[in-house]
Amino acid sequence: METLALFLACEPFHDTLADRVPTLLAIETSCDETSAAVIRDGEVLANVVSSQTAIHAEYGGVVPELAAREHLRNLLPVAREAMRLAHCSPQDLDAVAATRGPGLPNALLAGLKAAETLAFTLRKPMLGIHHHEAHLYSPWITGEPPRFDAVSFEPSVSLIVSGGHTLLVLLRNMFDHRVLGSTVDDAAGECFDKTGKLMGLIYPAGPEIDRLAAQGNPKAFAFPRPMIHEAHDNFSFAGLKTSVRYFLQKQPTLLDDPKSLRDVCASVQAAIVDVLVAKTMRAALRHAVPCVTASGGVACNSALRRELEAAARKSGLRCRFSERKFSTDNAAMIGILAERKLMAGLAEIPLDTEIEPGWAL
């Protein structure tokens, strides 16, 4: 509380949003990144991310209670650093936003309660932002055209791929989306992480598989591509993980050879990417949208970026990725979406609706 008081060492003010371009502080604590960002007029003035990866790595995955504790420890320093980089003081803020879910409950609470307290003290609006919706719009944070607004926006089929989720979403218009499909078991990122663990790689294994696969042969081993030919928009990755487990069990010394490790990485990655690209493209063509996008941590993957881009180009569609720094969990995507909602008059968003109709299948 003492630190919060220092952070808030200011007099609240009461001018209206109409008087100025709003400046917004956003907080993201849904999983194992503590992040704060300052947004003004569609620009990311600062985006600070403090990753807990090293803490969770020794457990092979995120430990929810450790994550919440780390958020409590890191949140105020991270927020203060974002404000410093943005040359901004609490008096400059017009609104506060935080991820309201989905995510780890206590991790979310740490960010939400800090944001609520700040907004209450400053007497400014507080926006609770849906984590997936923020990923969904993150490809429009930067790029050409650079802003996400009614002018530059175009309908898309959007792939949201992270450690916890794999979703295909039809984005018909700004703030108008429909979930087409999701994973029935493991998420794509989970598949990267768990198969990586089987290969002895540290958590999260996605980036390391990406790196090793760059020098491997994606055709060296034939792993299954679950549901790739099925007409629906759902995914399944648990079978692929099991198949890698049996494959490695049968050849316990295979990975002693560094070349084989690179080949297994490339082959697993190719299986995941083939499914993601095929299903995204099929949905895009079915819905006749001009654009496909990808966001979320797995959208950092080099093969996914290359293959989806190539498939889109072949079909005459545009392809947008969130920039890598806005693909993994970050507060900039929360703030950018919050600002757009604020400007569209959608400021009063309830904080307790983790599941809402727009995100149900």
Q: Which of residues 210-229 bind ligand KG4 (CB under 6 A)?
A: 210
Rounded to 10 degrees, what is the CA torsion of 349, 355, 356, 361? Answer: 150
Task: State CA 140 to chain mean position distance.
Answer: 13
163 binds ligand KG4 (CB under 6 A): yes
Q: How far apart are CA 119 and CA 152, in angstroms?
A: 31
**Axis-axis angle for helices 206-213, 188-198 (nearest 10):** 70
Q: 95 forms bridges with which residues in the sheet?
A: 24
Number of residues binding to ligand KG4, judged by CB under 6 A: 19
Binding-residue pattern over the window 304 to 343 for Zn ion, x denoting contact by CB under 5 A:
-------------------------x--------------
Least distance in Å: CB of 108 to ligand KG4? 12
Pure H helices in 199-286: 206-213, 238-250, 258-286
Tell me how far apart the terminal alpha carbons of the chain are, to the nearest angstrom.
41
Coil vs helix vs strand at 315: coil
| Window 131-170: contact mask with Zn ion (x via CB under 5 A) | -------------------------------x--------
Q: Which is nearer to ligand KG4, 57 or 285 (CB)?
A: 57
Using CB under 5 A as the binding rule, whether residue 190 contacts Zn ion is answered as no
Q: Rule CB under 6 A: choose which of 162, 166, 280, 322 binds ligand KG4.
A: 162
* C-beta of 49 vs 119, nearer to Zn ion: 49
Binding mask 121-160 for ligand KG4 (x = CB under 6 A): ----------------------------------------
Q: Is 37 helix (H, G, I), strand (E, B) or coil?
A: strand
43 secondary structure, DSSP code: E
* CB of 189 vs ligand KG4, minimal distance in Å: 3
Is 293:321 a contact under the CB 8 Å cutoff?
yes
Q: Are 260 and 129 in contact (CB under 8 A)?
A: no
Report 84-103 residues binding ligand KG4 (CB under 6 A): none
Of 115, 300, 332, 333, the residue at the interface with ligand KG4 (CB under 6 A) is 300
Q: Which two tokens stand for residue 55?
A: 């803490």
User: In the stretch 8-37, what mask flags binding to ligand KG4 with x, by CB under 6 A?
Assistant: -----------------------x------
Binding site for Zn ion (CB under 5 A): 162, 329
